[in-house]
Amino acid sequence: MDRQKQEIFGDYKYPLAFINDSSESRTYVLSDCIKVEWTVVIVAYNLAGDTPSTVLNSLISIVKSGVESDITLGGNAYNTKIIRIDTDEGFAYPNCMALFTVVISYMSED
Amino acid sequence: MTDSTRNTILTNISNVISGITSIKTVVCSNGNVNIETYKSASLPLVQIIFNREAPLYETSHHALWEISFELTCYVLGDIGDTDSVENIVKDIKNAIGENQTMNQTCIITEIASVNIVGDFPLWRVIFDMRSKYEKDVADA
C-alpha cells in the first residue's frame, strides 16, 4: 500500500505494510548514466496479541525475507538492501510496528 | 629529431588507437578527463596522458630516450560482464603490437602493465606505456 501514514482507526487487515518514498541520492557516472540510491521506508504493522516481541520478530523476519528474495526487484535494480530496522518499542500496543529503511540502487539515464 | 618527437609519437599513438573499431573516442590530455560530462555513446573512451621523459643512455651526439605515458580506457559494463573489458584489452594490445614503431616515429612502444580498476558500471583499463626513441643531444 503506497501511503504516507496509517490512519489510526482504518479498516485494515493485519499484518500490513506502508511503503513511503523518502530520499534519492544521485551520483553522475556519465552525463546520461546516473547511479541512484533511492531510500524508501517500509512501515509494517501487526496485532501485538499477548506476545508482542514474538509477533514483532516474526514480522521483521517476513519483511526481511521478502526484500532479500529479489534484490533486483524484477531486474529493475542492481541492489536492494535494508540498512536499518527500528521498532515501536511497545508504544504502538495493541499493535506492533517495525520500520525498515531500504536503499534501492539502480542506474538511470535522467 | 627535435623535442617535437614526443608530440609526434603521442599523435601517432592517438591515431593508432583511433583506428580500433571498438574505441569510440580518443582524447590526448594533460590530466584526467571530466568523464561525467561524456555520454555513454562516447564510450569506450581512451585518454592518453603524457607522463615522463627520460634519457636511457647518452653518447657525445646521441641519446636513447624513453617517454612513458598512461593510456586509460573508460568502459561501461555490467557487474558480471568481463568480456567487454577483456575485448578492449585485447584490441588495444593488438593495435599496439601491430605498430610498435608508431608509424616509424619511435624504435619501439611497449605495454609495461595493464590494470583494471573502477566501480560498477564504469571500469577503467589503465595501460602503463613506454616508447623508446633516439634523439640527437645537440637538438635536445
Q: Could you read off the pLDDT of A49-69 as tens digits, one per residue?
A: 899 899 999 999 999 999 999
Q: Would you say A107 and B78 are in contact if contact means Cβ atoms under 8 Å apart? A: no
Tell me, what's the pLDDT at A2?
A: 46
* Residue A110 contacts B where some CB pair is shorter than 8 Å: no
Tell me, what's the pLDDT at A82?
A: 97
Chain A residues with beta carbon closer than 8 angstroms to that of B79: 78
Show me where the domains of chain A are located: 16-108
Mutation site, B33, B34, B35, B36, interface A, largest A CB count within 10 A: B36
CATH number at residue B47: 3.30.2000.10
* Residue B33 contacts A where some CB pair is shorter than 8 Å: no
| Residues near A39 by beta carbon (within 8 Å), at least 6 away in sequence | A22, A23, A24, A25, A101, A102, A103, A104
pLDDT digits (tens, 9 = 90+) for B81-114: 778 888 899 999 999 988 888 888 888 888 999 9
Range A72-79 average pLDDT: 92
Chain A residues with beta carbon closer than 8 angstroms to that of B122: 29-30, 33
- Domains identified in chain B, total number: 1
Range A19-25 average pLDDT: 91
pLDDT beyond 70 at A9: no
Nearest CA in chain A to B78: A78
pLDDT band for position A5 (50/70/90)? low
Q: CATH class for domain A16-108?
A: alpha beta
Mutation site, A27, A28, A29, A109, interface B, largest B CB count within 10 A: A29
Q: Would you say B14 and B48 are in contact if contact means Cβ atoms under 8 Å apart? A: yes
Greatest mean pLDDT among A37-41, A47-51, B31-35, B57-61: A37-41
Tell me, what's the pLDDT at B83?
A: 80
Q: Domain residues for B57?
A: 4-139
State whether A28 and B36 contact (CB < 8 Å).
yes
State whether A33 and B37 contact (CB < 8 Å).
no
Tell me, what's the pLDDT at B3?
A: 60
Q: Give the helix ranges, DSSP H, for chain B.
A: 4-18, 83-98
- As a whole number of angstroms, the distance between CA A53 and CA A59 comes to 10
